[in-house]
């Protein structure tokens, strides 16, 4: 039963401030049951944060909805906690509610705008690609009827630029979708294995010794790792060995990817993460760094020139967690 509600809580839930609260149950005061914020379906009574708090369970950051007496849905953020006596026994519960309706309306509006922008971007990208393919067709016709070597050389250069343009347009799809969906916890070892499966490693001795961790990262985390591995194969010279492993440093986790190629000069260690480097070659490592930074992950190249590249991805405390062996086995 209710002991006390402050004025803000009474106003939030639309309860008459003259009503005598002590002895009344919370559900009987509410204009509607708590609602799932996405589906609008009522939440089971046993899942109510206040009921769980009365049983000793702490709830933090619980988003829910409630229909007020005007029929409008208001969104609230709930934190609930038990109140215990000196023996650690639950004797009461306290619930703090924050009205986040305006925040939710703004987020919903932004999501609608983003969906429309993504749709327009997708249509524009497809149109540009279609025109690019038409242009390539005309270039092939021109090359077939051209007789002067100098003209053919210029046509080849134009064709190369059009192909680069098409590649850049295709890559914009990744940037369009990056960060649109919320990050999630991902099995680090599994994501790396999937990333490696997209890279031609048949002629490379590939060793993977990644520990049992989950990482909180953007959904393009796998693509970022694929780009790092592709960089080793494409720009590493005669690479015959790629090794990936993890180590804990202080409070951080570090994923390390090394190769035995030509390495990277000290003056280029930051340049390789710039857009278009080297020689306008696309998004590559630039894309990888951008994806990682969404959830606070950092990447640096720390190898020695002539001794191969060494990419270190630092995953700070709070962005990784250890997988218990039983969970890891179940996942595999």
CATH for 299:
3.30.565.10
Domain that holds residue 200: 184-331
**What pLDDT does residue 14 have?**
77
Residue 1, in any domain of the structure: no
Q: Are 214 and 187 in contact (CB under 8 A)?
A: yes
Distance from C-alpha of 332 to C-alpha of 328, rounded to nearest angstrom? 6
Q: Are residues 163 and 260 in the same domain?
A: no
**What pLDDT does residue 26 have?**
67
Distance from C-alpha of 224 to C-alpha of 284, rounded to nearest angstrom? 8
**What φ, ψ does residue 60 adopt, rounded to 5°?**
-130, 145
User: Of 99, 120, 147, which closes a domain?
Assistant: 99
**What pLDDT does residue 275 have?**
74
Please choose, from the candidates 257, 140, 154, 158, the residue with its C-alpha nearest in 3D space to the C-alpha of residue 204.
257
Pairing of strands 241-249, 205-209: parallel
Q: Are residues 168 and 72 in the same domain?
A: no
How many domains, in total, are found in the chain?
Answer: 3
User: Of 125, 150, 177, which closes a domain?
Assistant: 177
**What pLDDT does residue 241 have?**
93
pLDDT in tens, the chain (332 residues): 777 888 888 887 777 777 777 767 766 666 567 878 777 788 887 788 888 888 888 989 989 888 877 777 889 999 999 999 988 888 888 999 999 989 988 988 887 887 787 788 778 888 888 898 899 999 999 999 988 999 999 999 999 888 888 877 876 776 666 667 789 999 999 999 999 999 988 888 999 999 999 999 999 999 999 999 988 888 878 889 999 999 999 999 999 999 998 888 888 888 888 876 665 555 688 889 999 999 999 999 998 888 899 999 999 999 999 987 655 555 55
Residue 131, in any domain of the structure: yes
Helix axes 221-235, 188-197, angle to 10 degrees: 50
Q: Are 62 and 8 in contact (CB under 8 A)?
A: no
Residue 259: CB atoms within 10 Å = 26
What contacts 142, CB < 8 A, 6 or more positions away? 155
Q: Are residues 143 and 233 in the same domain?
A: no
Q: Is 96 helix (H, G, I), strand (E, B) or coil?
A: strand
**DSSP helix, strand, coil percent of the chain (3-state; round to 5):** 45, 25, 35
- Name the pTM for this structure: 0.59
**What pLDDT does residue 312 have?**
97
Q: Are residues 48 and 25 in the same domain?
A: yes
Residue 113, in any domain of the structure: yes
**What pLDDT does residue 188 have?**
97
Q: Are residues 79 and 201 in the same domain?
A: no
């Amino acid at each position: 039963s209710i002991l006390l509600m402050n004025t803000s809580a009474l106003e939030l839930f639309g309860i008459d401030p003259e009503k005598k609260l002590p002895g009344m149950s919370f559900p009987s005061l509410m204009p509607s049951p708590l609602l799932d914020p996405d589906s609008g379906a009522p939440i089971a009574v046993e899942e109510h944060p206040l009921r769980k708090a009365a049983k000793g369970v702490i709830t933090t950051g619980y988003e829910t909805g409630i229909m007020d007496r005007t029929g409008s849905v208001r969104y609230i953020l709930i934190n609930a906690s038990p109140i215990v006596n000196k023996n650690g026994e639950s004797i009461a519960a306290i619930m703090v509610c924050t009205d986040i309706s305006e925040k939710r309306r703004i987020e919903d509006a932004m999501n609608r705008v983003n969906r429309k922008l993504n749709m327009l971007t997708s249509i524009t990208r497809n149109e540009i690609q279609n025109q690019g393919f038409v242009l390539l067709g005309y270039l092939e016709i021109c090359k077939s009827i051209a007789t002067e070597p100098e003209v053919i050389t210029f046509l080849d250069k134009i064709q190369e630029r059009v192909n680069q343009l098409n590649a850049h347009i295709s890559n914009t799809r990744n940037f369009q979708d990056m960060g649109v969906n919320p990050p999630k916890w991902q099995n680090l070892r599994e994501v790396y294995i999937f990333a490696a499966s997209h890279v031609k490693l048949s002629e490379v001795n590939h060793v993977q010794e990644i520990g049992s961790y989950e990482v909180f990262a953007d959904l393009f985390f796998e693509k970022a790792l694929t780009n790092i591995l592709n960089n080793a194969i494409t720009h590493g010279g005669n690479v015959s060995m790629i090794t990936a492993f993890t180590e804990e440093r202080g409070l951080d986790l570090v994923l390390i990817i090394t190769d035995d190629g030509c390495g990277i000069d000290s003056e280029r260690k930051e340049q390789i993460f710039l857009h278009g480097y080297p020689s306008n070659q696309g998004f590559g490592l630039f894309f990888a760094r951008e994806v990682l930074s969404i959830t606070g992950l950092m990447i640096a190249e720390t190898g020695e020139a002539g001794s191969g590249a060494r990419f270190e991805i630092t995953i700070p405390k709070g962005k990784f967690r250890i997988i218990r062996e039983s969970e890891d086995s179940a996942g595999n």
